[in-house]
């Protein structure tokens, strides 16, 4: 189960993080739960390290070509 919002929005929105995890628990699938927790933790870690901003700037540069 993956989120329908981008990583930066997910990292910045605790309500979206909770919703993603709750949906995976509601599905009752252990793999979906693991994936949701991993996705939330990855997005939060990347934001904390400043890599989401770097990634967004890199994408902007590529689209300018």
Residue span of the structural domain in which 42 resides: 7-63
The pTM of this model reads 0.73
User: Is 1 a domain residue?
Assistant: no
- Residue 42 tokens read as 């990855």
Helix (H) or strand (E) run with residue 26 in it = helix 14-27
Q: Are 27 and 1 in contact (CB under 8 A)?
A: yes
User: Is 21 a domain residue?
Assistant: yes
How many structural domains are present in the chain?
Answer: 1
User: Is 2 a domain residue?
Assistant: no
Encode pLDDT of 3-40 as tens digits.
Answer: 678 888 899 999 999 999 999 999 999 999 999 999 99
- Residue 49 tokens read as 């390290």
Residue 42 and residue 49: Cα distance in Å, rounded? 11
| Residue of higher predicted confidence among 61 and 20 | 20
Encode pLDDT of 33-57 as tens digits.
Answer: 999 999 999 999 999 888 876 655 5
């Amino acid at each position: 189960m993956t989120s329908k919002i981008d990583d930066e929005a997910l990292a910045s929105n605790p309500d979206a993080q909770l919703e993603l995890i709750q949906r995976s628990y509601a599905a009752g699938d252990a793999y979906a739960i693991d994936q949701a927790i991993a996705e939330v933790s990855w997005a939060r870690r990347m934001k904390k390290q400043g890599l989401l901003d770097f990634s967004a700037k890199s994408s902007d540069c590529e689209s300018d070509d």
